[in-house]
Structure 1
Amino acid sequence: MDGGGRLVGSVGVAGSLLLVDPPGRLRLPAFAFLGKTDRTQARPAGRFREPRFTERALSRHWPAMAFVIGVLASSALYGARVGGEYDAFVSHYGTPADIAARLAGFEIDTVTISGIDQLNRQEVLDASGVSERNSLLLLNAAEVRNRLEAVPLVRDVAVRKLFPNSLYFDITERKAAAIWQKNGQLSVVAADGVAIDEVHDARFNALPFIVGPAANEHLKEFTDLIDAAGDLRDRIKAGVYVGERRWTLQMDTGVELMLPEVDPKGALAQFASLEREAKLLDKDVLTLDLRLPGRITARLSEDAAAARAAMLAKRPKKAMTE
């Protein structure tokens, strides 16, 4: 007995002390020393349990546990994909990998676009497919470039990732070079023949006008003809690509100038020289055929043909001799 009426004694071989409070209720000490008196081994009494799985047992069972976890995760992912939940999640938040990259500090904060004139910023962003769901770390610059180069107005583009948070587009636009009519549809085409856009207003009326299937692919030939026309340059209103092999020029007087397949520039230059003297374009003719070298064949209008027939009818006929 101590002075407080408690019994102090040694209990068992573990070296633990058992305290008894009146009226005889047992109380364990704050710490029980099991087997060793080293205080560094002390554990809270009543909280120590022998682990059900030791480290050795855990390492032995871990492959099976990993397999089960993988199967469950795969099943959950498959179910989400089939049900559409995964696609909806990615559409709204991005892929799990992009989410992790953004959390790591690689979100896209700034997109700089240079070189645009006919396009606007939102059109470029929409075409690029880049949004707040992407991360700069996992963004495929080649795919973004391919998407932008698919835009008719874009001739070339450079895409640069500036870590950690900036993206840069350097765009070279196609310039409108002509208006192309095909099957009644009018399109604005670039110098390389690519159709840029439909014609919506009169702002492109001053551009050269070409007509016919594949005429856009031979635009360079037509512009070369215009350059070779000399004084007739401003009188050419349109070029019709006939049979996908030669050009017929529509002049401002309505006369059609039929050029040869071979050396059309040479034939046009010769006609320009003749036109300065003969003023054939001001005659009452429908077509002037230059397809035969050194020869021009004219087809008169109906009125001109009728007048010519009447004039020839009035000419005296030569007497017939026996």
Structure 2
Amino acid sequence: MRPLIHRRRDQSDPAPSRAAYRMTRLWLSPLFRRLVTAVMPAALVVGGAAAWITQPAQINMVKSWTGDILASVEARPEFQIRQMAVTGASPVLAEAIRERLSLEFPVSWFRLDPELLQASVAELDAVAQVQVSVELGGALRIAVREREPAVIWRRPFALEMLDATGHRIAYIDHRDGRPDLPLVTGTGADAAIPEALALIASAQPIQDRLRALTRRGERRWDVILDRDQVIRLPETGARQALERTLAIHAALDLLNRDVPVVDMRNPGRPTVRLGPGAMEYLRLTRTFEQGLASQ
């Protein structure tokens, strides 16, 4: 009996192989299909480009190409700075700022670092505050707030102008260069400038006779008047001691007498040192009083 279905020996089995079946199922996965169709080609392109661009010849070509682009952009007129304006500074300080920055115009905006320029200008002693900005039209603007000199500090080998906080502004060659500023001397005087200015303000009644304030031992002040007259002040309460001295002077004309030193270091016991003329007058007075008493 013959079979109902007769197959030819050369007819292949229509069922897929196991490998083909697995590949088909894998291809149906969206993640695998995206990996094969997008990620792998992109990785091949990027890898090939990286291999090509890391060659020395290509690196030099890219550097030259980017350099030409940057140079063409920097050279455009809208990015050129042609001048610098310094405001709020004296002519001397403005010239010092220009010398410090040493900029040659025109210069590209891309070659300037405003923060670096601002830090460089702020290092100048006479500058209290500075703001650097680039304005439309190609101008570099440097707005400065200059320190105001308050006193002259005489050091062993130099004269310095200080502001009200004791910060150095500049050196000067001669005291006559700023006769309007009061003079302070002594080691550590720069650290006590606010107190010195308060004493100078209190000494207004004898301002025409005031010559200097001298710092002693970095602890206290001596007030130096003309005729080598000295008022020695205590470490604490110096202003009150000076005002008390001026009150005694107003009542007894103390500072117009032959009194080289008025010592107020002990507020409860002020003392004075008499000059030679006053000592001779006192000796004659005592001799006269003794002669009268012996009669």
Same fold (TM over 0.5): yes
Structure 2 vs 1, CA of residues 246 and 234 (structure 1 numbering), >3 Å: closer, same or farther? same
Q: Distance in 1 between matches of 2:132 and 2:47?
A: 51
Contact 2:164 2:193 in 1 (8 A): yes
Contact 1:101 1:138 in 2 (8 A): no
Give the superposition deviation at 1:189: 1.6
> Within the alignment, does 1:104 sit opposite 2:104 as a pair?
no
In the TM superposition, 1:105-124 aligns within 5 A as 105=77, 106-119=79-92, 121-124=94-97
In terms of fraction of residues, the more helix-rich structure is 2
Give the superposition deviation at 1:96: 9.0
Q: Deviations over 1:51-100 (max 9, x none)?
A: xxxxxxx9986544422327975xx9xxxxxxxxxxxxxxxxxx999855
Q: Distance in 2 between matches of 1:96 and 1:226?
A: 65
Give the superposition deviation at 1:171: 1.1
Aligned twin of 2:251: 277
Aligned twin of 1:218: 192
Structure 2 vs 1, CA of residues 247 and 101 (structure 1 numbering), >3 Å: closer, same or farther? farther
Q: Distance in 1 between matches of 2:268 and 2:47?
A: 99
Aligned twin of 2:202: 228
Q: Deviations over 1:161-185 (max 9, x none)?
A: 1246221111111122111012242
Whose relative contact order is higher, 1 or 2, with alpha carbons under 8 Å and at least 6 apart?
Answer: 2
Contact 1:149 1:157 in 2 (8 A): yes
Contact 1:112 1:167 in 2 (8 A): yes
Contact 2:85 2:142 in 1 (8 A): yes
Aligned twin of 1:28: none
**Total equivalences in the alignment:** 241
Q: Deviations over 1:200-240 (max 9, x none)?
A: 34230221000012212321211111222342233221001
TM-score, structure 1 normalization: 0.64
Structure 2 vs 1, CA of residues 232 and 164 (structure 1 numbering), >3 Å: closer, same or farther? closer
Q: Distance in 2 between matches of 1:270 and 1:134?
A: 63
In the TM superposition, 1:186-197 aligns within 5 A as 186-197=159-170
* Segments ≥4 residues shifted beyond 4 Å: 58-62, 70-73, 95-101, 308-317
> Within the alignment, does 1:240 sit opposite 2:227 as a pair?
no
Contact 1:253 1:281 in 2 (8 A): no
Aligned twin of 2:56: 69
Aligned twin of 1:183: 156
Structure 1: unaligned runs, 5 residues or longer:
1-57, 77-94, 318-322
Identity of aligned residues (%): 23
Contact 2:53 2:59 in 1 (8 A): no
Contact 1:101 1:137 in 2 (8 A): no
Q: Distance in 2 between matches of 1:200 and 1:194?
A: 18
Structure 2 vs 1, CA of residues 312 and 242 (structure 1 numbering), >3 Å: closer, same or farther? same
Which of residues 115, 121, 125 is equivalent to 2:98?
125
Structure 2 vs 1, CA of residues 124 and 101 (structure 1 numbering), >3 Å: closer, same or farther? farther
* Bigger shift: residues 306-315 or 157-166: 306-315
